[in-house]
A and B are shown apart, each in its own frame.
Chain A
Amino acid sequence: MERPLTANIRPDREPLDIDGYERAGGYRAVREALQRMTPEDVLAAVTESGLRGRGGAGFPTGQKWSFMPRGEGAPTPRYLIANADEMEPGTFKDRLLLEGDPHLLIEGMIVSAYAIGATTGYIFLRDEYRLAAERLRRALAEAAGRGWLGEHILGTGFSLDIHLHTSAGRYICGEETALINALEGRRAIPRTKPPFPQAVGLWGKPTVVNNVETLCNVPHIVNNGAEWFKGLSRTDNAGTKIYGVSGKVKRPGAWELPMGTTIRELLEEHAGGMRGGYRFRGVLPGGASTDFLVEEHLDAPMDFDAIQKLGSRLGTGTMIVLDDRTCPVAMVHNLEHFFAQESCGWCTPCRDGLPYVEQLLAAIDDGDGRFEDLDLLEMHTRHLGPGRTFCAHAPGAMEPLQSALRWFRDDFERHIAERRCPYR
């Protein structure tokens, strides 16, 4: 089984230096793209490959890039930003790439910047990822030293600088327009779309923001072609995926596997099944902002389309497992506490609605809930749902709640009827 994204990652996670990386075939895609392909060729290869964004939303990468204005008279400079602000609870996949193979991200950024005509790149990294920052800094210096970055790369007309920006911790910075505000030194609140960042982005110039895992796929697509990339997957959604499992399983971890690996296989084979004494109750398939799935969904392939069909989202592909001895109400309370705290406060429904939802859940969790509270919660899942708020933060927050009210309704009702938490 091919594992292009993690092929260089060693068990001790010590990354390859530039010599090791080049010996392993690294920076070949830069040569291929810059010397033998036009930017349009690279764009076509990525579009053709069917690569979809790995940050959570799953938007087709080639299509995103195609919104960049092209040709004579298109505004310059243009920017490429790697979104390395991984902060979705339960998600730890980009860290693996950032720490384990920083040159792969840099190579992905060079090829992608070439395709979209960007001359400056930023890696927007969360400040808590200290080890990643250290390794990226070293890798950037090495790449610049070899001439993979800077003026006239490989003697071509293409030049690129990449800077590392470390942020200061706020979930909303993962939203691409809030990230752009943060990078400009403003409060990180989302911007209205349209205009999309590809037209009016960083400092008003065309900008593409891509997730780390997305960018890391690009060199491999250039080297091996779109057909190869599609062939990596078990389903129609192309490529491999870095999946992860956390919670009370025997071996929590992250693994690169074919897109479309089933939830059951991830849980049982890779994560080793549930720990002794615990039984599977449900799972958030792709981080905190996805809907719970339950036992009847275990054979679903983990890809964008299949998980969406079940009413949830692939999200980041890193699953959080709920066991039978953990209270689902308390778990949702924990999740909504996070979302209420991390709301940027820009729009009223989210700023005021999420703390209210959190309070209702706290009351139910503590045995002080009323049956009417369940209707209030249901109402909020609609009023904070898609289209009601400025960005996807609040709708994302409603996903675990609405699905918990559906799959674990009995637990909510028992808390209210018995005036206590039955798990404590």
Chain B
Amino acid sequence: MLSPEEVAAIEHEVALYDRKRAACIDALKIVQQRRGWISDEDLRDIAGLLEMPVDELDAVATFYNLIYRRPVGRHVVHVCDSVSCWLMGTEAISDRLRERFGVSFGETTADARFTVLPIPCLGCCDRAPAMLVDGNLHADLDPSRVDEVLERYD
């Protein structure tokens, strides 16, 4: 069940568009922000609120890189794997994550602290390699900087 706050936040977004369903990405993000990911039940509730077919909402939810249809860890680490970061050593970054946390892309650490995912170009190619942690940008990375950054997220 969606909470009253979630419903209120979604309705605030609905008002910005000419059609209800246009707020569906916003709605998915609102719910995900509070619950970490979008379960089947959440999906049904949101679809009901926006008066759209559940399948169509699922087609949207599964399309985007930043909507999760499976549980994730407390923090989501997105490592840019696009060309400029790759040229500047993104592989050393993912190797470091694998070594230190025992996770590859798509996996969550055993203590459920981090989920590591690849992400296309973060528009920060002049300061490559780059990654996001919970949406916050960290650039000019090297393996030891990665350790330093992740210490801050427990």
Contacts and interface: CB of A to CB of B under 8 A. Distances in A.
A144 to B, nearest CB: 13
A167 B63 CA distance: 11
Contact of B121 (A91, A247, A254): A91
Contacts of B122: 128
Interface of A: 86-92, 94-95, 126-131, 163, 165-171, 182-188, 203, 244-248, 252-254, 284, 288, 318, 320-323, 326, 331, 334-335, 337-338, 341-342, 344
A334 B125 contact: no
A129 B123 contact: yes
Nearest to B32: A168
Contacts of B64: 167-170
Contact of A252 (B120, B125, B132): B125
Q: DSSP majority for the B interface?
A: mixed
How many chain B residues sit at the interface, stated as a range, is 35 or more
A347 B124 CA distance: 31
Contacts of A184: 19, 21-22
B131 to A, nearest CB: 11
B31 to A, nearest CB: 12
Contact of B126 (A128, A253, A322): A253
B109 interface: no
A169 B18 CA distance: 23
A130 B133 CA distance: 12
Contact of B82 (A89, A170, A318): A89
Contacts of A247: 84, 87-88
B100 to A, nearest CB: 24
A334 B83 contact: yes
A345 B123 CA distance: 24
A68 B66 CA distance: 34
A405 to B, nearest CB: 17
A323 B86 CA distance: 13
Given A203-B18, A320-B83, A130 B25 contact: no
Contact of B66 (A169, A284, A321, A335): A169
Given A126-B123, A127-B135, A169-B66, 12 more contacts: A92-B121, A128-B123, A170-B64, A185-B50, A203-B19, A247-B84, A320-B84, A322-B87, A323-B87, A334-B81, A338-B83, A342-B120
